[in-house]
Structure formats: structure tokens, C-alpha cells
Chain A
């Protein structure tokens, strides 16, 4: 209806611009919330959601059975309370359910009964493109039932294969699997509360209990969790998800609960229970085979376990990108020879650390600047070490120097050719030791070589 006509009917009308982006965000929010009915939720933009409720409806059943109707009612009621107008239906296929939701909301099609349930609906319910819908109407096929009666060959000749597939799916034959929005967890445990819970202790206890259930199912399959996610469903529809990662497959409930406690303590915006959570779910989003430990092979297996737990705890509190371990790299470029990687995800080392030469003093500095700092240096001979240099506004007089150690940049890596570096170990008059380099070969690569300080020796 044009705005002018609307205004003509109702004088005082509030006008709001359409905001598809906000609509979409809201839809995602509702999808998150729908997670409590089934983990298998997918968006059907602009206004729809599809839930695969295979194997969940019995959770809503009461003495009289028919869990599906109860589920549908619970979903619609909850959405209505949230201020939404919802049309929903249940059927054996997504296409059928979609058609019913739009043209006969509230219907629950019994399994195998889709064709009969859909038959009286207008042909538009098939959701074909406008051209095809018009063509069906002109041909006198007004309802889905009438269309379904025609022979498939006839329909294929007129409308193409796609239309026939769609028709079949709508009639409950054949199914196009829906793809879930979120990765389905391998293992999951949840707890619903009759009365929403608010207290921290209760939440901690619930997580501990869920971790226990999760551990039991993971143990049956010989798995341990590498990434766990706790979802807190607030009674007003807000869902908060909190994840912890582990360095090795884990399933001890106590440890899992402790990791979550640490994570919850460290949240910048704490978990806000509002009027309480009515459901908590714990998922093992990512799991791996947990090999039973062989005791006795390692000197102190407990030590490794304890360290792994400490790493997990610190990573949960400060973020896994901050808890690092060192990994040797196969390169001779000083700043790349060793990298710090998240300790939880550190791959097994493929490269050994370079052995130090016995009897030799350190050839590499303990502290290395990520970015070499430029210095002003004065050298006596073009390829010699500096006599004095100025770094961070202080002048250093070189008392001792060793070098040069020539390190060519790896020209086979990348396109930009970096100049060769001549490294010197120098000691100033107070005994401070620096790792300096001159960038560029004099005469060959540059006439004005630049000097940098790259590291500090102990």
C-alpha cells in the first residue's frame, strides 16, 4: 500500500524507514534464542527461520503425547511475549513447513501427510517465481493439490526440473538438507530450569554438573574436548555464549568447571543474569581423541598435565593469544628464527633449536627488538664496526667489537629484495653489549649504509 493511501485511512500514522540490516540482526538474535529448541537453526531471510526439530520434540511432550504441538505452542507464545507476531508450522520437509507457516500457520502435518495437508493451499504456497505462479493460475491450477495431480512429465516440460523438485519436497518427498548456522557440537549437555536461576553459585554448580554429563558421553566415545562453549539462555530471550579452549583433549568435570570459573571471572562485561537464566547448555564444539595416558613412560606425567592446566587457565583468563610458547623456525633471519605461538595450539616442533657452540659466548642477543632501531654510527673503515654510535639519545663509545657476521636476506622469499646485513657484536665502555648491523653492502648495494641496533646481549 502506498504511504499516501495509508495516510488517507489513518491520519495519525507513525512512519519508520525500512531497515533491512537491523531486521537481519534481529532475525539472527531470534535464531540464537531459538537455539533452546533445537541446535539446528538456519536463517530463511528476510523474515523466516527454519528449525530442524528431528529428535527434540519428545522433550516437550507431556502425558498426552504430541510434543510437536507443545513445542510449536511454546515457541509461538514465547515469541508473542517478546512482542513478535509469529506464524509457524511443522512438517516433514522444510519447504512444506515453510508453505504451511505462510498459508496455514499453526498446522502440524503428520508424518507422510504433507500432500494431503498442503492440497487445499493456494498454488502460491509453493513459492515459485511470479511468472510460474501466474502461469499456474492461468492454467486453472488454483491449489497445490491441483498442481500435484498433474503428471510430472507435463510439469517438467512446462516449468522445468527445479519446479518439480520443489513440488516434491513440498509434498514431503525427498528432502534438501538445511545447513545449520552454527557448527553442531559433537557433544552437548543441557539443563532447563523451572525457575530462572540468578546466583553465581548455582550457575557454577550447573556447569559442573553439565561437565559431568558431558564427560560421561565423551568417555563412551573416547573423546576429549578442545573447545567448550557454554550457552546461557536468559528468560527474556538474550543468549550469551562463552567459550574456553584447552591445550589438550580434556574431560575432567572439575577442570572444565574451573576453567569456566576463571573465564567468567575475567570477562570484561560480566555475565548478566537479568531476570535469570532458564537454560544452560554446555557443548564440546571441538573434540579430539583422548588417548589414555601410559604411566611410567615420562618422568613426571603429572607435571605436564599440571602445566597444561595452568596454560589453559591463564589462556582462559588473558586470552589464548597471550599465553605463548616458543617454536623454532627454519630460517636464518634473526628476527624470524624463533617465534612465539599460542601455547594451546602450538604444533609439534619440526625444527630443532640451533645448538649453541660449547665454549663460545652467546652469538645471539637475549633481547631482540621486533623492529630494529635506527642509530647514528661513525665507523673508521667502510666495512668495519662503528667507533661510536648514538642510540636513544645516548652516545656509546665502542670498546670492543666482533664481526662482521654477514646475513643475506632470503631473496627467494617475497619479491622485494632486502639488502644484506653485516652484524657486529659490540661492547661500550660500561660493558653494555649490543647487536648492531649495517644494512647494505658498501659500494655494491648502497653508498650510504644505514646502521641499526637489533638486540641487547645479557
Chain B
């Protein structure tokens, strides 16, 4: 091999994980058939994924947890949060985790002061193959979270097979090395239905290796899998901001 060819091969080796051209991802299905088909069998395990909340609710955190749960198998989950996130978007409640079907004993929480620390902690965590997934919650668009940081995450995820999720409340999407990007909104329960499992209006807004889509999903807390949300008011037909004014709220006495 000529020196130039060797150099090229080396560069290729460096770039491949970033460009992701000639790479076979280890994939894990979400459980939602249509989405899995679009994702060619499931979400890439050894990659970086971004989740952007589409509204001020806990839907995106719930969805991210669901994805992380699907990816991690029996391994542990580390959630890295900025102190600011806890103030603005409330604490993660272990009882809430348990209710979603996620054993709180398998979840670790790291609080950090600012985005820089969150990135450093994330990089540190990715060197530990005993972790199944890492959720890094970084509000807004801090300068340190640039293309380089994003690539570093993608490479780290690939090296040890730890899935990384960037949860980005109040952030605008920027160029990055994420394999997929999601925008998550809450999905209203079907009319005349009981209060059901958590429901999401999940929009796949970026997919490096496939097409985009938008689905109504439901997280089944018992099976720990995403299912198609039955009988939802068509997602596309409910533009955000439309107000529905039912004559009076449906109130089921319970408790």
C-alpha cells in the first residue's frame, strides 16, 4: 500500500464512524412496527441520538427514557443533568421511573453545574462499557455543545456500544453527528377513553440512514415497549396551538 493510500485508509477509518457510511449498527427495535421499519430494524445502539421537546411537558423525558430502556437491556442507565434543569423542569422522581416500568435501582443520576461539566461527564461515562445508556440533559444551546462535542459523543458511543441520548429542552437543532433526531410532544388521550399509558406525538426529524416519519406512540409500562397509540386523534390533523374546548372535562372519580 502506498503511503498516500495508507493515509487515506487511516482517514477513512477516522471518518467512517462520523459519516457512518460503511458501518453496521447494532440495532434494537422500539416495538412500534412502522417506526422500526423506517429505522431499518430499530434504533442504532452504538450511536448518538437527540431528543427535542416540542412542548413544555415531561413527554420528551419520558420518550427518551423509553428509548434508553429499549437500548440498554439489563445494563445501567446514567442520567446527567444540569442543576438548572432540575429547577426549571423539576427533579427526576424515582417513583415516577418505577411507574414507567424502569427500576430506579438501575438508574444513576449525576448533577453537574454547567454544560461543560455535562459534556466532560458524558465523555467519561462513555468509557464504561458496563453502562447501557447515558442521557445527557443540556438545556438551551450552549456554545460548548458544538459539532466537535457532538462528534466526540458519537465516536464514544461507537467505541463501547453505549447509547447516548442528548435531551435538549429549549434548544434549537444545530448541525451535529446525531444518528437520529426526534421532536416529541404530548399526545392527547383518545376521546372517551380512560386516562391511559403515556402517549407521544413522535416526529423523526432526522435520520442519517433512512426516511423521516411521524407517529403516534404509546409507552407500555408493563412490556416496556412502544406501541402504536390506538384511536388517537390524527396527529397531523391537530396543529399545535389549536384549542379544543370540550363542554366540560371528563372526570373519572378514582383514588
Contacts and interface: CB of A to CB of B under 8 A. Distances in A.
A313 B221 CA distance: 33
Given A401-B249, A429-B244, A366 B57 contact: no
B21 interface: no
B5 interface: no
A328 interface: yes
B98 to A, nearest CB: 5
Among A305, A325, A326, A365, the most chain B Cβ lie within 10 Å of the Cβ of A326
A324 B248 contact: no
A456 B58 contact: yes
A400 B249 contact: yes
B171 interface: no
A317 interface: yes
3 closest cross-chain pairs (CB), A and B: A458-B62, A338-B94, A431-B188
A398 interface: yes
B99 A362 contact: yes
Contacts of A349: 105
Interface string A391-421: 0101001111111111000000000000000
Contact of A317 (B100, B120, B186): B120
Contacts of B240: 430
B89 interface: yes
Nearest to B97: A366
B136 interface: no
A353 B57 contact: no
Interface of A: 299-300, 302-307, 309-311, 313-314, 317-318, 322-326, 328, 334, 337-340, 343, 349, 353-356, 358-359, 361-370, 380, 384-385, 387, 392, 394, 397-406, 422-423, 425-427, 429-433, 455-458
Contact of B245 (A369, A429, A430, A431): A429
B58 A318 contact: no
B211 interface: no
B3 interface: no
A422 to B, nearest CB: 8
Given A366-B93, A399-B188, A406-B255, A325 B103 contact: no
Contacts of B89: 367
A326 B130 contact: no
A366 B65 contact: yes
Contacts of B70: none
Among B56, B94, B103, the most chain A Cβ lie within 10 Å of the Cβ of B94
B99 A303 contact: no
A171 B101 CA distance: 74
A363 B117 contact: no
Contact of A361 (B104, B111, B196): B196
B185 interface: yes
A100 B128 CA distance: 60
B75 A303 contact: yes
B249 A398 contact: yes
Given A326-B105, A366-B58, A317 B75 contact: no
A402 B249 CA distance: 10
Contacts of A431: 57, 185-189, 199, 201
B79 to A, nearest CB: 9
Contacts of B254: 402-403, 405
Nearest to B79: A324
Given A367-B58, A367-B92, A423-B255, 17 more contacts: A326-B94, A353-B98, A356-B99, A356-B221, A366-B58, A368-B91, A370-B90, A387-B249, A397-B245, A400-B252, A402-B255, A426-B249, A429-B245, A430-B185, A431-B186, A431-B201, A433-B57
Contacts of A401: 249-252
A385 B195 contact: no
Given A310-B125, A356-B221, A457-B198, A324 B108 contact: yes
A309 B56 CA distance: 36
13 contacts: A305-B130, A309-B128, A326-B109, A362-B100, A365-B58, A367-B58, A399-B249, A400-B249, A401-B252, A402-B255, A404-B255, A405-B254, A405-B255
